[in-house]
Amino acid sequence: MKVIYPVQRIVSVWVGNFPTEGDFDECVNVEVTKRLALQTPIESVCEIAFEPKPVPLQQLIQGFSGWETFMPQIERAAASRGVHSVNAALVCYNVKCENAPELWGQLRFLGSFGGQDVK
């Protein structure tokens, strides 16, 4: 796997279903933060969302910075993997992952897509 950071107008997206927000946070720390090995804290390049019960992907992502710029792409990627509702999402801005595995613990990597943080 190759991680490129920073790369403008790219977002990388992970989704999953977790029993608790703590379980989600632990997976992000153990699986994503360690594997990406960014030289900057992951909190400074990402947004997360968690709901107690699964919801449609768009409902979870709506409101993320620049979500309109990447939502259609991630919906297609999710649908092609049979993912329709989730309760957790992680979006890393300006991070591109090439040849990345799909499963990162309980998180599913949907891919790196054109999009941007428009805060």
Residue spans of the chain under pLDDT 70: 118-119
- φ, ψ of residue 25 to 5 degrees: the values are -60, -40
Q: What is the value of pTM for the model shown?
A: 0.96
- pLDDT at 118 (0 to 100): 67
- pLDDT at 119 (0 to 100): 56
Nearest to 89 by CA among 107, 102, 104: 107
- pLDDT at 117 (0 to 100): 83
